[in-house]
Amino acid sequence: MNGSHVAIAGLVVVNLVTAAGVVYTKHQSRMQFKELRAVQQAIDDANIEWGRLQIEESTLARFGRIEDLAARKLNMRMPEHHEIKMVVK
């Protein structure tokens, strides 16, 4: 085997190692992109849940809701002006 054959064999080995490196890098890139998409989906899901919870909170905290519940479920009512007693210490 002369010097040119050794050089060609060396170049083939370098080429194969480089090709394996490209395949490995591409695979890692795809795996990281898949992980990125999963994290982005989790963020989107959390934002949707946050919006839903904000709507629920605004519904539960609306003006007059507690008065409505007290009247409907507990048969309570607002006292008349003459029924209000002031307690002073």
Cβ(77)–Cβ(71) below 8 Å? yes
Domain extent, residue 13, equals 3-83
Residue 29 lies in a domain: yes
pLDDT digits (tens, 9 = 90+) for 55-80: 998 888 777 888 888 889 999 988 89
Residue 41 lies in a domain: yes
Half-sphere exposure (Cβ direction) of 11: Cα atoms closer than 13 Å = 6
What is the predicted pLDDT for the residue at 48? Answer: 97
Structure tokens at 80: 């008349």
Number of structural domains in the chain: 1
What is the predicted pLDDT for the residue at 40? Answer: 98
Residue 88 lies in a domain: no
What is the predicted pLDDT for the residue at 1? Answer: 66
Which residues of the chain have a pLDDT value below 70?
1
Residue 89 lies in a domain: no
Q: Give CA–CA dist 77/67, Å, rounded.
A: 8
